[in-house]
């Protein structure tokens, strides 16, 4: 009997080079759309949208971002510098590690969570286009926010000539920093075996939330928007994955199992007939010997 394959065909069909092309192509489109130039009207709209967010947070009695920032600045500049570096690096590094690890270690979950990331990012692009938002660090001085990347420093700065040309600083709602970090936690936690790794993965979105607020790059409502985008992205990915499974031909493993059943069934039947017939055959042979034996 032929061994039944243990891995479904859809996992074996994944090709790393094809997935890399998908990711790079999608991220290239995302970058072009996100970083398109903004005119004066867009800046004005981004400022008024920031005022709307502030009013919403004040209504919820939760407009405390400036207070949180000034707990550490300027007395602990090294602490702020750490979060500036974290803000500028972990967002990309951890996401790349998560998607590569998912592809290599848990390919069965890979299509769902890859599509979730794509849908989440696409939804964020819609938010950037229709709701440009001025981050706290760019608000007028009477709001008492500090642009820590400019004042304290990190790995890079939005004020550099290159970053000013290619970066849309009003792409803040929803926060992809928080959305992607929560996605990473959902992806990595089931694969983590050690408790300390699980704890680090679980706290990573909270670290990201702290980073985006203490560096004045986002309001906390931006993070709520990122979580909402992730939730909708996951539901869309579930729906499209289920639809693709219905439309896809049967898994190879299922086909192999069917052929194994068809191959073994006649063999079993032949064995049963052979067993019954041998007794009769023996009797017949014996009978014929009796007929031919001289008396």
Q: Is the pLDDT of residue 276 over 70?
A: no
Question: Which of 117-126, 159-168, 222-231, 244-253 tops mean pLDDT?
Answer: 222-231
Binning pLDDT at 50, 70 and 90, where does residue 9 land?
Answer: very low
pLDDT at 21 over 60: yes
Give yes or no for residue 122 having a pLDDT over 60: yes
Task: Give whichever of 112-121, 164-173, 254-263 has the largest mean pLDDT.
Answer: 112-121
Peptide bond into 174 cis (omega under 30): yes
Average confidence score pLDDT of the chain: 79
- Residue 152 — pLDDT band, cuts 50, 70, 90? confident
Look at residue 168 in the predicted model and tell me its pLDDT: 77
Yes or no: say if 5 and 96 are a contact pair by the CB < 8 Å rule.
Answer: no
Neighbouring residues of 16: CB distance < 8 A, sequence distance ≥ 6:
103
Residue 77's pLDDT band (boundaries 50, 70, 90)?
Answer: confident
List pLDDT tens digits, range 83-102.
999 998 999 999 999 999 99
**If you average pLDDT over residues 166-174, what whole number do you get?**
82
Residue 285: pLDDT over 50: no
Percent of the chain past pLDDT 70, that is, above it, reads: 65
pLDDT digits (tens, 9 = 90+) for 50-65: 999 999 999 999 999 9
Which pTM was predicted? 0.73
Structure confidence at residue 76 (pLDDT): 83
Indicate whether 291 pLDDT > 50. Answer: no
> Who's near 219: CB < 8 A, 6+ residues apart?
50, 53, 54, 57, 65, 135, 136, 172, 213
Three-state SS for the chain is CCCCCCCCHHHHCCCHHHHHHHHHHHHHHHHHHHCCCCCHHHHHHHHHHHHHHHHHHHHCCCCCHHHHHHHHCCCCHHHHHHHHHHHHHHHHHHHHHHHHHHHHHCCCCHHHHHHHHHHHHHHHHHHHHHCCCCCHHHCCHHHCCCCHHHHCCCCCCCCCHHHHHHCCCCCCCCCHHHHHHHHHHHHHHHHCCCHHHHHHHHHHHHHHHHHHHHCCCCCHHHHHHHHHHHHHHHHHHHHHHHHHHHHCCCCHHHHHHHHHHHHHHHHHHHHHHHHHHHHHHHHHHHHHHHHHCCC
Mean pLDDT of all residues in 103-113: 90
Top pLDDT among 9 and 231 is at 231
| 253 pLDDT more than 60 | no
Q: What is the pLDDT of residues 199-240, one digit of tens each?
A: 999 999 999 999 999 999 999 999 999 999 999 999 999 998
Cα-Cα-Cα-Cα dihedral sign, residues 254, 257, 263, 269:
negative
Confidence category of residue 260, pLDDT binned at 50, 70, 90: low
Q: What share of the chain has pLDDT > 90, as a percent? A: 52
Residue 258: the pLDDT is 58
Lowest-confidence region among 129-138, 149-158, 209-218, 226-235: 149-158
């Amino acid at each position: 009997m032929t061994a039944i394959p243990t891995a479904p065909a859809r996992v074996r069909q994944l090709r790393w080079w094809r997935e890399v092309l998908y990711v790079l192509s999608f991220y290239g489109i995302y970058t072009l759309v996100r970083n398109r130039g903004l005119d004066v009207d867009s800046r004005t709209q981004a400022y008024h949208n920031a005022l709307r967010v502030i009013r919403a947070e004040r209504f919820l009695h939760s407009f405390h971002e400036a207070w949180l920032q000034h707990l550490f600045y300027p007395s602990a500049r090294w602490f702020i510098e750490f979060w500036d570096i974290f803000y500028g690096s972990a967002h990309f590094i951890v996401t790349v590690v998560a998607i590569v690890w998912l592809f290599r270690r848990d390919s069965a979950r890979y299509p769902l969570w890859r599509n979730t990331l794509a849908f989440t990012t696409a939804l964020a692009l819609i938010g950037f286009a229709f709701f440009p938002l001025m981050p706290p660090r760019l608000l007028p001085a009477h709001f008492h926010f500090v642009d820590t990347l400019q004042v304290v420093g990190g790995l890079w700065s939005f004020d550099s000539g290159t970053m000013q040309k290619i970066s849309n600083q009003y792409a803040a709602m929803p926060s992809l920093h928080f959305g992607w970090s929560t996605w990473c936690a959902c992806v990595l936690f089931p694969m983590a075996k050690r408790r300390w790794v699980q704890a680090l993965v679980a706290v990573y979105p909270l670290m990201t939330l702290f980073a985006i607020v203490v560096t004045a790059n986002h309001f906390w409502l931006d993070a709520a928007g990122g979580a909402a985008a992730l939730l909708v992205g996951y539901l869309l990915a579930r729906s499209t994955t289920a639809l693709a499974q219905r439309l896809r031909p049967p898994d190879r493993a299922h086909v192999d199992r069917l052929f194994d059943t068809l191959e073994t069934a006649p063999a079993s039947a032949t064995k049963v007939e052979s067993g019954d017939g041998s007794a009769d055959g023996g009797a017949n042979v014996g009978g014929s010997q009796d007929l031919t034996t001289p008396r």
